[in-house]
Amino acid sequence: MRNTRADYRISVSKAGKYTLQPRVFHDGSALSFGLYLNEKLLKEISTSGESGWQTPNKVLVTLPKGQHTLSVQPIGERTRLSLNWIDVKKL
């Protein structure tokens, strides 16, 4: 995706703390992207290092019960981001 976002409908059966861990590809320069829940920023994640697929550290978030939209959006005008998957686990 380029200067856009990817939206995913998720169903949270139990409110509580979760880890989110996305798998992203970038061109090797520093990259930042936001994880949003219902258009509210949950966390900003940054990557750096060599070009290729990366799985940044897990981020801890609190998710409410119910149907939601989880979005991933690059931050910055010239940011390119490819998203392979997002691992979501209840703690």
pLDDT digits (tens, 9 = 90+) for 5-50: 889 999 999 999 999 998 888 777 777 889 999 999 999 988 877 7
What's the pLDDT at 17?
A: 97
Sign of the dihedral defined by the CA atoms of residues 7, 41, 87, 69, in that order: negative
In a domain, 90, yes or no: no
How many CB atoms sit inside 10 A of residue 69's CB?
A: 12
In a domain, 37, yes or no: yes
Given a cut of 70, whether residue 3 has pLDDT beyond it is: no
In a domain, 33, yes or no: yes
In a domain, 69, yes or no: yes
What's the pLDDT at 1?
A: 44
Q: Structural domain of residue 11, as residue ranges? A: 6-84
Given a cut of 60, whether residue 54 has pLDDT beyond it is: yes
CA gap 45, 86 in Å, rounded: 13
In a domain, 91, yes or no: no
- Tell me if 63 sits within 8 A of 16, measured CB to CB: yes
CATH of the domain at 45: 2.60.120.260
In a domain, 1, yes or no: no
Q: How far apart are the first and last CA of the chain?
A: 30
SS3 (DSSP) at 18: strand
The count of domains in the chain is 1
